[in-house]
Structure 1
Amino acid sequence: MSTLQQVAFRAGCSVATASRVLNRNGPVSDEMVRRVRRAAAELGYRGGGRTGNGRPAIGVLIPSVTNPVFAASLSSIQNRAFHAGHSVLIAQSNYDPAQEPDAVASLLHQQPTGLILTVCDPERSMALSSALPPTVLLGNLPTSRFTAAVATDNFAAGRDLTNHLLCKGHRRILFISGHFAASDRAKLRYLGYIRAMEAAGQRPLDTLEISFVSSLEQLDLSDVVARSNPTAIIASNDLLALGVMGALRRQGLSIPRDISVAGFDGISLGLLTEVSLTTVEIPDGTMGAAAASLLLDMAENAAPPRHLTVPYRLRVGGSVRDLAVQS
């Protein structure tokens, strides 16, 4: 079994410097970080934290373990990590920026090989303000400090979905979202909606923000529907879109005859409703696997961080009515 002394010798540095790099507890140049990590990988040195099964671990932070989107990502991360000899440590923030620092600290306490993080807003997250091991942002855009990220173009997805509704003759389109402070993905989708509406010469309706973790079975849209009189509603994710569909039906409204509904993510539940949900499919499983592969390459092979953009696809369902077609 290799030792820290052997890693330091191969990297051409002192044992103290090698220790600082591998334990992330002191200032070291980027070049030295790469040399020490490469030496550790070549020698098979695994001096970091291990889980109870003796494997090194990857730390993963997600907003919610109950959202199928993140469940799909986690499954792919675990599969990729398992084949690389790693376990996965999981923490959740409950879509609360204030919970992120403690969640990340709990992961760091177990000295993971690296981190895969989905934060509410990478530009404002306090969890990203301290020194971290190799880190990949999942679903978030990269920042100046954390340039490794795997995401889709949520702005373009919001624009394209809105254009789809506009092409179907809809002009009064309401955007319903979780709180934008809890998800930069939702905010980017909303900005894409704004861009498409303005480009079409249409006035965007006032958006409705609700909690991502609220009970959707109790969602009441009667006031906003009466006030805005939309012909279509875009929800910032599919779970919310399904909640919107339930709320509209409780009002006695028919989908899509009275109001059309569309969402984002492409979760399988959207195919099991009375009318299938029109949505933007985002390959969350593919993104999770890509994030895990990128992280392991950075941590074990000193590979440079990269920003990977994963394509999305519009999935047309029965939840959107074509107003240009006379009934």
Structure 2
Amino acid sequence: MSTLQQVAFRAGCSVATASRVLNRNGPVSDEMVRRVRRAAAELGYRAGGRTGNGRPAIGVLIPSVTNPVFAASLSSIQNRAFHAGHSVLIAQSNYDPAQEPDAVASLLQQQPTGLILTVCDPERSMALSSALPPTVLLGNLPTTRFTAAVATDNFGAGRDLTDHLLQKGHRRILFISGHFAASDRAKLRYLGYIKAMEAAGQQPLAALEISFVCSLEQLDLSDTISRLDPTAIIASNDLLALGVMGALRRQGFSIPHDISVAGFDGISLGFLGEVSLTTVEIPDGTMGAAAASLLLDMAENAAPPRHLIVPYRLRSGGTVRNLAN
């Protein structure tokens, strides 16, 4: 088994410097970080914590363990990690920026090889303000400091879905979302909606923001519908779109005859209703696998951080009525 002294010798640095790099407890230049990690990888040296099964671990932060989107990502991360000899540690923030630092701190206590994080807003997250091991943002755009990220073009997805509804003859399109402070992905989708509406010469409506973790079976849209009279509603994710459809039906509306509904993500639940949900499919499983591969490459092979964009696909379903005919 290789030792820290051997790693330091191969990297051409002191044992103290090698220790700072591998234990992430002090300032070291980026070049030295790459050299020490490369030496450790070549020698098979592991400084990270291990789970009860003896494997090194990857720490993963997601907003919610109940959303199928993150379940798909986690499954792919776990599969990729398992084949690389790693376990996965999971924490959730409940879409609350204030919970993120404690959630990340709990992961760091296990001394993971690295972290895969989906945060509410990477530019404002306090969880990203301290020294972290190799880190990949999943679903978030990269920042100046955290340049490794795997995401899709949420702005483009919001624009394209809105264009689809406009082409179907809809003009009063309402955007319903979880709180934007809880999801930069939802905010980008709304900004894409605004762009498409303005490009078409239409007045965008102010978004209706509700809690991502509210009881959707109790969602009441009666005041909003009577006040704004939309012909179509875009929800910021598919779970919310299904909750919107339930709320509309409780009010006696028929979908899509009275009001059309569309969402984002492409979760399998959207296929199970009387009509399939019009949605933008986001390949969350592919994104999770890519994030895990990128993280392991950075942590074990000193690979440079990269920003990977995964394409989305618009899937036209039966929940949008064509008003143009």
Give unpaired runs (5+ residues) of structure 2. none
Partner in structure 2 of residue 101 of structure 1: 101
Partner in structure 2 of residue 244 of structure 1: 244
How far does the alpha carbon of each residue in 1:118-167 deviate from its partner, in whole angstroms, 9 at most, with x for none? 00000000000011000000000000000000000000000000000000
Q: Which range is displaced more, 200-209 or 285-294?
A: 200-209
In structure 1, what is the Cα distance between the partners aligned to 2:143 and 2:16? 30
Q: After TM superposition, give the deviation of residue 33 of structure 1 in Å.
A: 0.5
In structure 2, what is the Cα distance between the partners aligned to 1:48 and 1:214? 38
Q: After TM superposition, give the deviation of residue 206 of structure 1 in Å.
A: 2.1
- SS state of the match for residue 202, structure 2? coil
- SS state of the match for residue 177, structure 1? strand
Q: After TM superposition, give the deviation of residue 47 of structure 1 in Å.
A: 2.0
Question: Would you say how many aligned residue pairs link Structure 1 and Structure 2?
Answer: 325
In structure 1, what is the Cα distance between the partners aligned to 2:251 and 2:189? 27
TM-score (norm 1): 0.99
Q: After TM superposition, give the deviation of residue 104 of structure 1 in Å.
A: 0.3
How far does the alpha carbon of each residue in 1:72-129 deviate from its partner, in whole angstroms, 9 at most, with x for none? 0000000000000000000000000000000000000110000000000000000000
In structure 2, what is the Cα distance between the partners aligned to 1:92 and 1:40? 31
RMSD of equivalent CA atoms: 0.6
How far does the alpha carbon of each residue in 1:51-79 deviate from its partner, in whole angstroms, 9 at most, with x for none? 00000000000000000000000000000
- SS state of the match for residue 60, structure 1? strand
Q: After TM superposition, give the deviation of residue 312 of structure 1 in Å.
A: 0.1
Partner in structure 2 of residue 220 of structure 1: 220
Q: After TM superposition, give the deviation of residue 216 of structure 1 in Å.
A: 0.1
Partner in structure 2 of residue 188 of structure 1: 188
In structure 2, what is the Cα distance between the partners aligned to 1:206 and 1:282? 25
In structure 2, what is the Cα distance between the partners aligned to 1:200 and 1:21? 53
- SS state of the match for residue 209, structure 2? strand
In structure 2, what is the Cα distance between the partners aligned to 1:252 and 1:230? 15
- SS state of the match for residue 132, structure 1? coil
In structure 2, what is the Cα distance between the partners aligned to 1:157 and 1:104? 29
In structure 1, what is the Cα distance between the partners aligned to 2:133 and 2:187? 28
In structure 2, what is the Cα distance between the partners aligned to 1:17 and 1:205? 55
In structure 1, what is the Cα distance between the partners aligned to 2:18 and 2:106? 24
- SS state of the match for residue 71, structure 2? helix
How far does the alpha carbon of each residue in 1:252-302 deviate from its partner, in whole angstroms, 9 at most, with x for none? 000000000000000000000111100000000000000000000000000
Q: After TM superposition, give the deviation of residue 207 of structure 1 in Å.
A: 1.3
Partner in structure 2 of residue 162 of structure 1: 162
In structure 1, what is the Cα distance between the partners aligned to 2:48 and 2:216? 42
In structure 1, what is the Cα distance between the partners aligned to 2:61 and 2:92? 5
1:263-278 pair list within 5 angstroms: 263-278=263-278
- SS state of the match for residue 116, structure 1? strand
In structure 2, what is the Cα distance between the partners aligned to 1:85 and 1:95? 30
Partner in structure 2 of residue 24 of structure 1: 24
Q: After TM superposition, give the deviation of residue 205 of structure 1 in Å.
A: 1.5
In structure 2, what is the Cα distance between the partners aligned to 1:243 and 1:273? 12
In structure 2, what is the Cα distance between the partners aligned to 1:48 and 1:122? 25
In structure 1, what is the Cα distance between the partners aligned to 2:47 and 2:237? 41
In structure 2, what is the Cα distance between the partners aligned to 1:247 and 1:100? 31
In structure 2, what is the Cα distance between the partners aligned to 1:290 and 1:233? 32
Partner in structure 2 of residue 292 of structure 1: 292
Moved over 6 A (4+): none
TM-score (norm 2): 0.99
- SS state of the match for residue 58, structure 1? strand
- SS state of the match for residue 300, structure 1? helix
- SS state of the match for residue 308, structure 1? strand
- SS state of the match for residue 233, structure 1? strand
How far does the alpha carbon of each residue in 1:2-47 deviate from its partner, in whole angstroms, 9 at most, with x for none? 1111111111111111100000001111111000000000000012
Matched, 1:311 2:311: yes
In structure 2, what is the Cα distance between the partners aligned to 1:242 and 1:32? 50
Q: Which range is displaced more, 199-208 or 74-83?
A: 199-208
